[in-house]
Structure 1
Amino acid sequence: MTIRPVTEDTVSAWAQLAARVWHSNSETLRQAFLAGQFPYEFLYWQGEDAVGFISLSLRQDYVEGSHNRPTAFLEGIYVLPNYRKQGLASAMVDYAKAWTRQQGLQQLASNCELANEVSQAFHQSLGFQEVSRTVHYLMDTAAD
């Protein structure tokens, strides 16, 4: 098992996995990757099969709880159901921590939906500390 950066040759495998997390079209994601919109994508390989991915970024904007800019950010992580509970996600987060240090940074941030208790437990089990909770609002003004 190994973790490697996504390339043009492996982008389709990444896009199929990422589409499951981001509820998006895999072709749209593939094109966005090829256009440079996802520069820090990594696949977890078991033999010839991509069984998970992790998406990282360097956020220049404010990140809750961080006093540093940029801040390394875990944008997405996914492991195929048949490969879960085997330590793959933990290995990918360890990879992300090493990647963060390679960028000269000291913090890795992440977030999840308030109602996603499974993701919250996952983050806490890996050593992430909750720093805040927010509720977002939106108002349509076109009908006024």
Structure 2
Amino acid sequence: MIKPVDSHSLSDWSALASTVWQTERLQLEKDFQIGSFPYEFLFWQNGRAVAFISLSIRKDYVEGAKTSPVAYLEGINVLSDYQRSGIAKELIDFARQWARNQGIRQLASNCELDNLTSQAFHSAVGFKEVSRTVNYVLDC
């Protein structure tokens, strides 16, 4: 069952989200409470939160998108004991329906170039790669 994160499930969400974003749980919970994460959902199985998905609506430019706004997959995590059981696919199907309900026609995402696991996941659930980038910085 997929449910929105609320004050009762906030610690469950922060436990899952902190492993994806490498951010302290307390900071994530504070950010959630001030509205920085408005579209957070947990996947529950047998009374336990075993996965989460974080979505956003981006109105700025999204690489490869043909429409605007675009629903954006900000993060997803399934506990290791529950991986390869279809939960991630169910979460992506949920995200696609959520986007359609918002009047949005595309769901986008990204990952690091060296994150082959994430790339394989995106391909497996139907995402199509649209570009690759390398970023640079020059001190002035």
TM-score by length of 1: 0.94
Partner of 1:126: 125
Q: Which residue of 2 aligns with 1:69?
A: 68
Deviating beyond 6 angstroms after TM superposition, the runs of 4 or more aligned structure 1 residues are: none
Deviations 1:58-100 (A, max 9, x none): 0111001113221100000000011111011010000001001
Alignment partner, residue 91 of structure 1: 90
Map 1:1-144 to 2 at 5 A.
Answer: 2-141=1-140
Q: Which amino acid is 1:75 matched to?
A: E
SS in structure 2 of the partner of residue 90 of structure 1: helix
Distance 2:139 2:45 in 1: 47
SS in 1 for 2:55: strand
Count of paired positions: 140
Partner Cα distance (2:25, 2:112) in 1: 22
Unaligned runs of 5+ in 2: none
Identity of aligned residues (%): 53
